Amino acid sequence: MSSVNFINLTAKEITDGIINKKWTAKEILSSFIGHIKKHDMFLNSIITLSEEQAIADATRVDAVIARGENPGLLAGVPFLVKDNICTEGIKTTCGSKMLQNWVPLYDSTAVKNMREAGAVLLGKTNMDEFAMGDTTETSFFGRTKNPRNISFIAGGSSGGSAAAVAAGFCPIALGTDTGGSIRQPSAFCGVHGMKPSYGQVSRYGVVGYASSLDQVGPITRSIEDMATVMDVLAKADTNDSTCDAFDRQSFSLLGKGKQELKGKKIAILSGYDKKLVDKQLLEAIDQTVKICIEEGADVFEVELPIALKYAVACYNIVAFSDASSKLACYDGMRYGYHEDGKNLSEMYKKSRSSGFGEEVRHRIIIGTAFLTQGYYEEYYIPATKVRQLIVEEFMNLYQKADVLISPVSPTLPNREGIIEELDAQSYLKTFFTCIANLAGIPALSLNVGFTPEGVPTNVQLCCPRYEDGTLLSIATIIEKNIGSPYVAELISDEGVN
Amino acid sequence: MKRQVVIGLEIHLQLKTRSKLFCSCSTDYVGAIPNTNVCPICLAVPGTLPLLNELAVEQAVKLGLALHCNIQDQTRFYRKHYFYADLPKAYQVTQYDHPIAMGGYLDILVEGKEKRVHLDHLHLEEDAGKLVHQTADGRLSGASHSFVDYNRGGMPLSEIVSKPEINSSAEAVAYITQIRQLARYLKVSDGEMESGSLRVDVNVSLSKDDGSLGTRVEIKNINSLKSIERALEFEIARQNRILDEGEALIQETRLWDDAVGVTRSMRGKENANDYRYFLEMDLAPINADIEYVEKIRHTLTEMPWDKRNRIVEKYKISFEESLLLTEQKELADYFEDCVKNGASAARTSNWIRTEVLRVLRDQKIDISNFPIASKDLATLIKKIDKKEISNTLAKDVMSAMLEKNMGLDKALHDCGGDSGRVTGVNLQLVINKIIETEPEAAEVVRSGQDKKGAKIKYLQGLVMRETRGSADHQEVIDILKRTLE
């Protein structure tokens, strides 16, 4: 089988082929490695390619198959991981000069679970520095280009992971999402991305940005694959006390079993200024609504007035405050970038000033201010109260709805560089995604096709907390009607693939 | 008008757990090689998360209950931020405005009088690492580098904060001593100031002439009870002097310099810290619901103050004696075990306070390592009670047991204390005395001229008289022969 065929396969197809001995994990791997080596120099989606480790992992999977043992749900599936998720023996840079050469001594729980399920780790993907940014332009390693069109932005902060999946470098990548960092780049790169419920996936080994908002989640080209990954990731973890024990549904079964939208109550978000949202994205929502109605769902509009008014301010205060605290450990002493100083204080200043990029410094300084006496009472305390009101607003919404549909981002990715939007548009850019992090609910950025010019379009689906299974089953039905996104056609110096 | 001294104390107790507060590292760090009791969590390696040690929570709840606090359910941890080399995360995980135990009080004894000191709260927090300032050749002065040892970092601490209701250095010492005793009774802390498992920060002010509160000064770095007293005396005098001169005090933190005997201002930014307290979202709320608290309450044993009073009541001994006996729970238990085994309470109390405590002091051991079992001491004391042996003989028996590592029976036998007979060493002593007073008869026997054995019979008679017939005839003859050969 040619490499082009391999890279178009879903995780499910790869695993089935390995189990049925149509191909081996090593064959799969070498095809993906070849594809990456040929094209990533143009995309810059990967910071570290860990080929040796991947070969060892693939060899192990083949041996397990040869022995006739259970190879796991993701046997032989190559995957990439955002570079703020710790990997034993493989550099984990967080896209920063600060951790440019840092090699963790342990695997994060997410990576450990993936590898135990037979998935083969290929390496680490590019990202905005410490997950702060939405274009990958704040990465110390340069920005990632969008495989759908290299003049588009890939989005961020998990831009490397989303681009890699779109480019066919792997059928699955992991990202992290603090305010939209999985969903927005997935939307821009034309793939699916999911932020699970807070507490559904262990954060152990994820370099923290904001402890109460961060979640690890999958980026895929098929909802079935996404459900399988969630099946592997969603486990209580004794290393993370916020990843609580809960009755875990089997997501991959939900993805396959009997699902229907008949009688489902579907809320369409309204109340925001629709003029600020790209027409083609509003059309994508209309198209999705049409499918839902045809499937027998009950569709109506809702507003979230408190969230609309306060969510972004609340999000910025909560996230930046926590970032100022979480990033305080990078003092140049035990790990990371170090510069000598006359005394302790000067060493801190020099190491932190040079080790962090501008956006990170900016957020740390603002976050520090939010927590300083006086401002704490004026900003931080009200923000936590407003957050509680937003949680309640969602709880009320879900009294009458099973799922909320909204845009992911108000804009399409078809331009280069940091977007020069209207202030209001920039507000919505954070709004649609950050509400899910504030409320702790699961949210999925679903690709619903492409414009005639090949620009990906998408919708966001949000379900109540811990209803990740419901979210995936609804996404499955919509995807069935529309089809999964295809692998991007990459242009290299050798011409079109 | 004399100004009233107002003191508030913050006591940090290192809790006695096997692992640290948020990771599985060993807490056995005293004397350990620097940076060996560390792991990714307590070194703040990126991506790690804290995991709460449930035993530490249990111990804090125990302490809180013993101190009559209200235990709070679902309290949270906070991050207290400051940059320093001993703090890897650059924040200390501690509690803030809703700590695990609120209110409460402690009754202390000062010069025989009881006083109630109310508590503000008790909370849980982690300890910081330690800095060592020394040169490469080990000298401490003129060091160009500092070394950091993270072994202590993350140790579980419980901080007990009193209300400013302590009015003298004697009261402060009594308060600390009482907390220390309680911690040891509950087995939640070693409570040793010298090794740092009990640390005290002192807040002291002098009330103004109109009775209102004065400017508060915090004193840190006090490492012994003696120093608490000295530091307070110094600081009270210093504040009085400044106020007498009509000047104002500055609210500040001062460090106690034990060698010089003064408190010194900690200049600079340390006084103006804004710790930016912030909810620790990496940890779930602490579960301490009523059911849990009641379960722990049932495990509480008798408090030292209750034991002290009960022993006075039950055994009719003086309060002062009881105070000494109950200083350590194990000593009080030893006392009660002896009495349970039939020894008289008054004599047992005397024996423990004099003989036993002297041995413990001399050998620098704890009652739990005292080699004489309570039932053996009880047997010995019972013999005195029944006048079977003298007090002096009993002491000899105890010495024999301790020094020659003998069992009770053997020691009694050797000292001639079994069934009231004079034997062995004791008999030898009597015989020596008789020989001394009867040199002529002794000389006859020694020179072999006592053919008919008259002289040896004569000496034997004297010995039997001296021992009031409680020696064995044949043993007397044997010892006499051995001594005079």
Q: Per-residue pLDDT tens for B388-414?
A: 777 778 888 898 899 888 888 888 877
The residue behind tokens 């309470």 is B345
Does the annotation count A82 as an active-site position? yes
- Residue B332: inside a domain: yes
- Cα dist from B204 to B115, B220, B256, whole Å: 19, 11, 13
Answer yes or no: is pLDDT of A496 > 60. Answer: no
Answer yes or no: is pLDDT of B459 > 70. Answer: yes
Q: CA nearest A156: which of A187, A200, A124?
A: A187
Q: How many CB atoms lie within 10 A of CB B226?
A: 12
- Judgement on whether residues B313 and B452 belong to the same structural domain of the protein: no
User: What is the predicted pLDDT for the residue at B269?
Assistant: 46
Catalytic residue among A82, A124, A145, A195: A82
- Judgement on whether residues B400 and B436 belong to the same structural domain of the protein: no
% of chain B beyond a pLDDT of 90: 68
Comparing A297-301, A441-445, B25-29, the range with the smallest average pLDDT is B25-29
Give contacts of B154 with chain A, Cβ < 8 Å.
Answer: none
Q: What does the block give as tokens for A18? A: 């390995």
Check if the beta carbon of residue A67 is closer than 8 Å to that of residue A185. Answer: no
- Judgement on whether residues B39 and B141 belong to the same structural domain of the protein: yes
- Judgement on whether residues B406 and B443 belong to the same structural domain of the protein: no
Mean pLDDT of B40-64: 97
Angstrom distance (rounded) from CA B335 to CA B350: 10
Angstrom distance (rounded) from CA B83 to CA A63: 50
The residue behind tokens 């913050």 is B10
With CB atoms and an 8 Å threshold, state whether B45 touches A208. no
With CB atoms and an 8 Å threshold, state whether B281 touches A329. no
- Cα dist from A168 to A13, A78, A185, whole Å: 14, 10, 15
Comparing A9-13, A68-72, A418-422, the range with the smallest average pLDDT is A418-422
Angstrom distance (rounded) from CA A77 to CA A319: 34
- Judgement on whether residues B65 and B169 belong to the same structural domain of the protein: yes
- Judgement on whether residues B230 and B368 belong to the same structural domain of the protein: no
**Which of B44, B50, B84 comes nearest A329 by C-beta?**
B44
- Residue B360: inside a domain: yes
Confidence of residue A253 (pLDDT cuts 50, 70, 90): low
Show Cβ contacts of residue B225 under 8 Å, excluding neighbours closer than 6 positions.
B173, B176, B177, B193
Q: What is the pLDDT of residues A44-89, one digit of tens each?
A: 999 999 999 999 999 999 999 999 999 999 999 999 999 999 999 9
Q: CA nearest A140: which of A161, A162, A157?
A: A157
Q: What does the block give as tokens for A309? A: 């008014």
Give contacts of B279 with chain A, Cβ < 8 Å.
Answer: 384
Q: How many CB atoms lie within 10 A of CB B267?
A: 9
- Judgement on whether residues B168 and B206 belong to the same structural domain of the protein: yes
Nearest CA in chain B to A93: B46
The residue behind tokens 């679970």 is A113
Answer yes or no: is pLDDT of A458 > 90. Answer: yes
Cα of first residue to Cα of last residue in chain B, in angstroms, is 85
Residues A316, A318, A321, A327, CA torsion sign: negative
Answer yes or no: is pLDDT of B144 > 80. Answer: no
- Residue B452: inside a domain: yes
With CB atoms and an 8 Å threshold, state whether A348 touches B83. yes
User: What is the predicted pLDDT for the residue at A4?
Assistant: 45
- Judgement on whether residues B263 and B324 belong to the same structural domain of the protein: no
Residue B461 sits in which domain range? 424-483
Does the annotation count A262 as an active-site position? no
With CB atoms and an 8 Å threshold, state whether A241 touches B276. no
Cα of first residue to Cα of last residue in chain A, in angstroms, is 16
Last residue of a domain, one of B296, B327, B350: B296
Show Cβ contacts of residue A284 under 8 Å, excluding neighbours closer than 6 positions.
A448, A449, A457, A458, A459
Does the annotation count A157 as an active-site position? yes
- Residue B419: inside a domain: no
Q: Where are the beta strands (DSSP E) in B65-155?
A: 70-71, 78-81, 91-94, 101-102, 105-110, 113-126, 130-133, 146-149
Angstrom distance (rounded) from CA B87 to CA A443: 37
Give the three-state DSSP class for A216.
strand
Mean pLDDT of B420-442: 83
Catalytic residue among A108, A157, A161, A222: A157
Across all residues in chain B, what is the average pLDDT? 91
Q: How many alpha carbons fall within 13 Å on the CB side of residue B139?
A: 5
Answer yes or no: is pLDDT of A487 > 60. Answer: yes
With CB atoms and an 8 Å threshold, state whether A241 touches B85. no
Answer yes or no: is pLDDT of B477 > 70. Answer: yes
Q: What is the pLDDT of residues A32-45, one digit of tens each?
A: 999 999 999 999 99
With CB atoms and an 8 Å threshold, state whether A104 touches B283. no
Q: What is A354-371 written as a DSSP string?
A: HHS-HHHHHHHHHHHHHH
- Residue B357: inside a domain: yes
User: What is the predicted pLDDT for the residue at B424?
Assistant: 76
With CB atoms and an 8 Å threshold, state whether B90 touches A328. yes
- Judgement on whether residues B394 and B462 belong to the same structural domain of the protein: no
Interface of A with B (CB under 8 A): 85-86, 92, 94, 99, 102, 104-106, 108, 203-208, 210-212, 238-242, 244, 321-322, 324-325, 328-329, 331, 333-335, 344-345, 348, 368, 371-373, 376, 380, 384
Q: Own/partner pairs for B431-438, CB < 8 Å, 24+ apart?
A: B431/B459, B431/B463, B431/B476, B431/B479, B431/B480, B431/B483, B432/B483, B433/B466, B434/B459, B434/B462, B434/B463, B434/B466, B435/B459, B435/B483, B435/B484, B438/B462
Confidence of residue B175 (pLDDT cuts 50, 70, 90): very high
Mean pLDDT of B351-365: 94
Last residue of a domain, one of B385, B414, B443: B414
Q: What does the block give as tokens for B392? A: 């002096």
Q: What is the pLDDT of residues B193-238, one digit of tens each?
A: 999 999 999 999 998 767 788 899 999 989 999 999 999 999 999 9
Give contacts of B276 with chain A, Cβ < 8 Å.
Answer: 324-325, 368, 371-373, 376
DSSP character at residue A85 = B
Q: Which amino acid is at B480?
A: L
Q: CA nearest A476: which of A291, A294, A284, A222?
A: A222
Confidence of residue B464 (pLDDT cuts 50, 70, 90): confident
B133 vs A11, more confident: A11
**Which of B49, B90, B281 comes nearest A204 by C-beta?**
B49
pTM for the whole structure: 0.89
Q: Which amino acid is at A259?
A: Q
Angstrom distance (rounded) from CA B462 to CA B458: 6
- Judgement on whether residues B210 and B344 belong to the same structural domain of the protein: no
With CB atoms and an 8 Å threshold, state whether B276 touches A372. yes
Angstrom distance (rounded) from CA B340 to CA A293: 85
Answer yes or no: is pLDDT of A390 > 90. Answer: yes
- Judgement on whether residues B442 and B313 belong to the same structural domain of the protein: no
Q: How many alpha carbons fall within 13 Å on the CB side of residue A376?
A: 11
Which stretches within A234-304 are classed as H helix?
251-256, 279-294
Give contacts of B143 with chain A, Cβ < 8 Å.
Answer: none
Last residue of a domain, one of B245, B265, B296: B296
Q: How many alpha carbons fall within 13 Å on the CB side of residue A171?
A: 30
Among B49, B87, B150, the strongest candidate for a mutation testing the A interface, having the largest count of A CBs within 10 A, is B49
Q: What is A134-159 written as a DSSP string?
A: SSSTT-TT-PPBPTT-TTSB--SSTH
Comparing A464-468, B334-338, B421-425, the range with the smallest average pLDDT is B421-425
Angstrom distance (rounded) from CA B309 to CA B304: 9
**Minimum distance, in Å, between the CA of residue A228 and any CA atom of chain B:** 25
Catalytic residue among A45, A96, A139, A181: A181
B448 vs A488, more confident: A488
Q: What is A411-443 written as a DSSP string?
A: S-S-S-SS----HHHHHHHHHHHHHHHHHT--E
Exposure string for A467-495, b = 16+ CB within 10 A, e = fewer: bbbbbbbbbbbbbeebebbebbebeeeee
Q: What does the block give as tokens for B24? A: 């599985």
- Residue B51: inside a domain: yes
The residue behind tokens 């905005």 is A128
Answer yes or no: is pLDDT of A316 > 70. Answer: yes
Give the three-state DSSP class for A198.
coil
Give the three-state DSSP class for B361.
helix
Mean pLDDT of A341-357: 95
User: What is the predicted pLDDT for the residue at A495?
Assistant: 44
Answer yes or no: is pLDDT of B378 > 90. Answer: yes
Give contacts of A207 with chain B, Cβ < 8 Å.
Answer: 46-47
- Judgement on whether residues B230 and B344 belong to the same structural domain of the protein: no
Across the beta sheet with A78-82, the strand order is A46-49, A120-125, A78-82, A172-177, A215-220, A192-195, A443-450, A456-462, A403-406, A265-270, A298-303
Into how many domains does chain B fold? 3
The CATH number of residue B461's host domain is 1.10.10
Exposure string for B396-418, b = 16+ CB within 10 A, e = fewer: bbbebbbeeebebeebbbbbbbb
Q: What does the block give as tokens for A49? A: 């390619």
Q: What are the residues facing A82 on neighbouring strands?
A: A125
Answer yes or no: is pLDDT of B275 > 60. Answer: yes
User: What is the predicted pLDDT for the residue at B429?
Assistant: 84
Q: How many beta-carbon pairs under 8 angstroms link A with B?
A: 99
Q: What is B401-455 written as a DSSP string?
A: HHHS---HHHHHHHTT-GGG-B-HHHHHHHHHHHHHH-HHHHHHHHTT--TTSHH
